[in-house]
Amino acid sequence: MRLDRNLAVLGTLWLPGAAAWGSLGHITVAYIATDLVNDRTSAYFQDLLRNSTEHYLAGVATWADSIRYTKWGRFSKDFHFIDAKDDPPAYCGVDFARDCKAEGCIVSAIQNYTTQLLLVPPPGADANAETAAEAGSVLPAWRRAQAAKFVVHFVGDIHQPLHVENVAQGGNGIHVRWESTELNLHHVWDSSIAEKLLGGVGRRPYEAARRWADDLTEQIREGRYAAPSRLWTNGISLDDPVAAAMSWANESNALVCTHVFPEGPTAIAGQELSGDYYEKAAPVIELQVAKAGYRLAAWLDLIADRVSSSAGATQAPGEL
């Protein structure tokens, strides 16, 4: 679905500040999903998030990062990743029982907040009734809106390979060079490669993300991703969010062995990555952002369809 844009107003009136995956990747994922969800899904989440513009997902895409280090949001800090205790490049793989912390991880978070989004009141009921909330059968709208913000963010995070890897805290402890500046490897995969791919972003990540999303949406609809994208949502089901999230996590984690440090974490330390390494990594990052946006759209469509069915709607589910 494509709505009228006013990015100038968007940037000055209500969008939160962002440093630039990094925010650029998350916002792009959100815009792709906005382009691909069906009309019923769009209407449902615009109402839930109280934003009737096309920026209803992009505007909350980085919210989970903005609260993770606050006193209130500290509980969510472990939800952005799962520490795969594998041995790249000899072996890559994520095991939910082995790798998800007792405090939670990105896989359990996607399951939890997806489930929360489905706890809707029956037609005509008070969504904020304390008795229903105490019974655990429904959640008030503000809680479901919060859950939606987490889902939008975490579906993006799980497609970044270093959010599903334990080595050096997901690459944060591996120092490399990027255009002669010392950075950590996680930052390079979060932001640097994507920003260079777009020719620089500066202080306008939302405009850059919108342009990138336009291109990737076109590639999904009728370009180089048109054929492969038909397989990107195979087997996903709201009946087993852990299985869906684990399939995405293992797919991302495999890239740690093939592209993140194919010669091992020690070999990449101190290396300049803005040349040949960038040329190999950039197409992978672009593909992962496209997959994340496509899958987020499909996931939100499933949620909206389930909610509509619970409310007694008779409209057939929409298609991507």
| Domain map (residue ranges) of the chain | 23-310
- pLDDT band at residue 122, thresholds of 50, 70 and 90? confident
Task: Look up 39 and say whether it is catalytic.
Answer: no
Q: What is the mean pLDDT of residues 199-224?
A: 93
For residue 178, report the phi and psi dihedrals to the nearest 5 degrees. Answer: -135, 110
Q: Is the pLDDT of residue 108 over 70?
A: yes
- pTM confidence score: 0.90
Q: Is the pLDDT of residue 148 over 90?
A: yes
Burial class (CB in 10 A: 0-12, 13-18, 19+), 39: exposed
Q: Is the pLDDT of residue 317 over 80?
A: no
251, 84 Cβ separation under 8 angstroms = no
Lookup result for tokens 């007792």: 102
Lookup result for tokens 């952005």: 80
Q: What is the CATH number assigned to the segment(s) 23-310?
A: 1.10.575.10
pLDDT of residue 206: 93
Catalytic entry in 40, 163, 210, 295: 163
Q: Is the pLDDT of residue 16 over 80?
A: no
Report cis status (omega within 30 of 0) of the bond before 89: yes
User: Considering the chain, what is the average pLDDT of its residues?
Assistant: 89
Task: Look up 86 and say whether it is catalytic.
Answer: no
Task: Look up 186 and say whether it is catalytic.
Answer: yes
161: amino acid identity, one letter: P
Give the count of beta carbons closer than 10 Å to the beta carbon of residue 78: 19
Which residues neighbour 264 within 8 Å (Cβ) at sequence distance 6 or greater?
88, 89
Alpha helices in 37-174 (DSSP H): 39-49, 63-67, 96-99, 106-117, 130-135, 141-157, 168-171
Task: Look up 80 and say whether it is catalytic.
Answer: yes
pLDDT digits (tens, 9 = 90+) for 241-252: 999 999 999 999
303: amino acid identity, one letter: I
pLDDT of residue 17: 36
Q: Is the pLDDT of residue 172 over 50?
A: yes
Catalytic entry in 40, 63, 78, 80: 80
